Amino acid sequence: MTLERHTGTDARHAGEIDAALRALGTATPEPGLEGRVLTRLAAARMQGEPMIAGPAWWRRLPRPVMPLLGFTCAGILCAGIVAGSVSHSRHNQSGPVPPPVMQMPGTGVGAASAMHPAAPASTPVPAGTASRGHSSRRNSKGRARITPEAHKAPGVAVPAPDSNLPPQ
Amino acid sequence: MSCFEGQLAGWMSPALARTVDTSQTIAQLVAEYSTALYRVAFSVTRNAAEAEDAVQETFLRVLKHESRLGEIRDYRVWLVRIVWNIVLDKKRRAKTRPENEDVADHTRTLPSGDRPADAAVISSQEHARILALVDRLPRREREALMLSAVQELTTAEIAATLETTESSVRSRIFRARRELAVLLEKEGIPR
């Protein structure tokens, strides 16, 4: 059905299409085209260079040159980064550095207690005079409880034992 | 003539002879192919001035690569490919500006015959409308159809220009004509 329709359409319009294409394909230039072309060629030859604009310089390079150029640039960049990093680290090491020798203390404990000569000497922290060792303990309700038998200074009031609390 | 001048002339003579040879070859190419190249260019540009510019630019490129003239096996296909690339490139660059296509150009292309002037103008308008529909075809089909319109080109030469096979060219032309007929049916071109 579709094929028949197409065939019919083709046949109806074939003449029109042929005529339009013939008109297009038999176009005749203005008389003297060859002469004008030769004149322009002669002018270009006289100038020593054709009058058409050439492609940009990077397009005139051979095809494998561009990736090669890219790799070279990347390599130079990487070398620059490495050289800069090395020079920076050397610049930081201005003073003499003692050799990394681990000195064992006289007691001859293990390597874990060895001291690096460059490490600051450790000094013991003295205990304060008013300090005391203490621990905080709380009972289950979070309130301190004072037993009646507790030693207390004379004249200090002691609250009566709470009847709600279980006896200790 | 001194001895030096004589020697210089002896050294220069092969180069001069080669220049004369290439000039003659190019002149022969211009005489033989400029009309065919103009038709190829006109099938794309549909403008006489632009088509002529394209032909001139083609031969300027030939002049630029005159040292390679001896390596070319088929001058016709080589030249058609150059002009084809030039006009397609121009058309691509000028895509933003409107088509500079006029009835006068089409009228000039028509075989004069003995038709009255009015009939010729109407016919050229019909052709312009058909060619506008050609522009709506897919690129491959359109290019094959336009090159097939140039009578000087064989199917093998069209295939070489489009860098494809002859059977592909034939099927593209067939599809293009069928699509064009469908478009004409839809548009209802007056007869």
The closest CB to that of A40, out of B48, B56, B110, belongs to B56
Structural contact between residues B48 and A31, judged by C-beta atoms closer than 8 angstroms: no
The proportion of chain A whose per-residue pLDDT surpasses 90, expressed as a percent, equals 10
Q: Is the pLDDT of residue A42 over 50?
A: yes
Q: Which of A70-84, B53-67, B76-90, B120-134 has the lowest mean pLDDT?
A: B120-134
Is the CB of residue A44 less than 8 Å away from at least one CB of chain B? yes
Q: Are B163 and B172 within 8 A, CB to CB?
A: no
Q: In a mutagenesis test of the B interface, which of A24, A28, A39, A51 is the best target, namely the one with the most B β-carbons within 10 Å? A: A24
Does residue A82 sit at the B interface (CB-CB below 8 Å)? Answer: no
To the nearest whole angstrom, how far is the Cα of B7 from the nearest Cα of chain A? 25
pLDDT at residue B156 in the model: 92
CA angle, corner B27, sides to B23 and B28, nearest 5?
120
Do A25 and B150 make contact, defined as CB atoms within 8 angstroms?
A: yes
Is B142 within 8 Å of chain A by CB? no
Give the relative orientation of helices B48-64 and A33-47 as an angle to the nearest 10 degrees: 40
Q: Which two tokens stand for residue B92?
A: 């691509």
What is the value of pTM for the model shown?
0.56
Whose tokens are 């550095």? That residue is A97
Element (H, E) at B106: helix B103-109
Structure confidence at residue B170 (pLDDT): 94
- 3-class secondary-structure state, position B111: coil
Cβ-based contacts of B48 with chain A (< 8 Å): 27, 29-30
d(CA B61, CA A41): 10
Asked if B35 lies within 8 A of A24 by C-beta distance, the reply is: no
One-letter amino acid at A35 equals G
Rounded to 5 degrees, what angle do the CA atoms B106, B111, B117 make? Answer: 70
Mean pLDDT calculated for residue range A26-36: 89
Q: Between A119 and A9, where is the model more confident?
A: A119
Partner residues linked to A115 by β-bridges: A103
Quick check: helix, strand or coil at residue B113? Answer: coil
The answer to whether ipTM exceeds 0.85 is: no
pLDDT digits (tens, 9 = 90+) for A19-28: 888 888 888 8
Higher pLDDT, A3 or B70: B70
* Cα–Cα distance, B79 to B82 (Å, whole number): 5
Q: Which residues of A touch B38 (CB under 8 A)?
A: 27, 29, 33
Whether the predicted pLDDT of B14 surpasses 70: no
Q: How many CA atoms within 13 Å lie on the side-chain side of B161?
A: 29
- The average confidence (pLDDT) of chain A is 70
Q: What is the pLDDT of residue A146?
A: 64
Calculate helix-pair angle for B3-45, B139-149, nearest 10 degrees.
110
Residue A67 or residue B171, greater confidence? B171
Mean pLDDT across A106-110: 53
Q: Which member of A17, A29, A52 has the closest CB to residue B52?
A: A29
- B65 CB within 8 Å of a chain A CB: no
A77-81, A154-158, B5-9, B20-24: range with highest mean pLDDT: A77-81
Q: Is the minimum CB–CB distance between A104 and chain B shorter than 8 Å?
A: no
Residues from chain B contacting residue A2 (CB–CB below 8 Å): none
pLDDT value of residue A2: 44
Smallest CA–CA separation between B159 and chain A, in Å?
17
Per-residue CA distances from B104 to B46, B99, B131, B191 (Å) = 11, 14, 15, 20
Sign of CA dihedral A153, A154, A158, A161: positive
CB B60 within 8 A of CB B77: no
* Tens digits of residue pLDDT in B75-108: 999 999 999 999 999 888 876 554 555 445 554 5
What is the predicted pLDDT for the residue at A88? 87
- The pLDDT, as a whole number, for residue B152 is 80
Instruction: Using CA atoms of B163, B87, B189, A19 in order, give the dihedral in degrees to the nearest 10.
Output: -70
Kindly determine whether residue A37 and residue B146, on different chains, have CB atoms separated by under 8 Å.
no
How far apart CA B183 and CA B124 sit, in angstroms, is 18
Q: Among partner residues A20, A37, A40, which is closest to B127 by beta-carbon distance?
A: A20
CA distance B49 to A30: 9
Whether B52 sits inside 8 A of A33 (CB atoms) is: yes
- Inspect the interface and report whether the beta carbons of B181 and A29 lie closer than 8 Å: no
Residue B26 near residue B63 (C-beta atoms within 8 A): yes
The CB density around residue B142, as the number of other CB atoms within 10 Å, is 18
Instruction: Work out the average pLDDT over B31-57.
Output: 91
Alpha helices in chain A (DSSP H): 2-25, 33-47, 57-60, 65-92
**B126 part of contact set with chain A, CB < 8 Å:** yes
Taking the CA atoms of B103, B104, B109 and B112 in sequence, report the sign of the dihedral they define. Answer: positive
pLDDT of amino acid A147: 67
List the single best residue of B40, B43, B59, B115 to mutate versus A (max A Cβ within 10 A). B59
What does the DSSP assignment read for A109-155? --GGG-B-TTSPPP-PPPPPSS---------TTS-----TTS---TT
- Write down the pLDDT at residue A23: 82
Nearest to B131 among A24, A28, A45 (CB): A24
